[in-house]
Amino acid sequence: MTPRPARTFKNAAYGHLARVGKALASPARLEILELLAQAPASVDALASEVGQSVANTSHHLQALKRAHLVRSERQGVQRIYHLADEDVAGLLRQLQAVAAHHVGELQELTRAYFEGGEGLEALDGPALLEKLRADEVTLIDVRPEHEYLAGHLPGALSMPLSELETRLESLPRGRTIVAYCRGPYCTFSAEAVSRLRARGYDARRSEVSVQDAVLLGGGAR
């Protein structure tokens, strides 16, 4: 068989890569991927989380599906969306890391939001692992419970932000509480830390997510 001309091949190959890049070129789609990295979800649930109409959210999901980044299945009357594979979550994390390293505006935005209050400076993965191994902290997962049940960091307690005030008595007063949520741009952990500190707890936040489970000594539970 005669090989295709090199330029024809390259144009086609980079065209497929560009389709993935185009699918990612939307703030709402990136947030949708972050949500699906936590747990499968319906269109309605995703629309509520990202602050978009169901129609717009469905449009974004179809763009992601055409790029083979998500898949769906019918469950009763609902269509449930999943990441196509775990490597899609890895792609999102790598994009976040590259942008955080190179985009000064993102660095300034993140610094202004998260470093404005005591305890909001983040514990990174290695620092958190060291404290967990020394049994110096209690780790809480402040995502919604269904995300915790889909997978969580080893040893983490489920403490959804919406239930934090009603479950404070279950948290030890004599230990540092570390809250985590969905990753570096999730605000639940910062809100949890602010509430805990206002009630006299020694609390810190971490930027780790369930995708960092292997770095913390095991897979997601």
What does residue 190 show for φ and ψ, rounded to 5 degrees? -65, -40
Beta carbons of 83 and 89 less than 8 angstroms apart: yes
Structure tokens at 153: 């960091």
Helix (H, G, I), strand (E, B) or coil at 176: strand
Cβ neighbours, 10 Å, residue 102: 9
Tell me, yes or no, if 186 is annotated catalytic. no
Catalytic residue among 123, 181, 186, 213: 181
Beta carbons of 64 and 25 less than 8 angstroms apart: no
Active site amino acids = 181
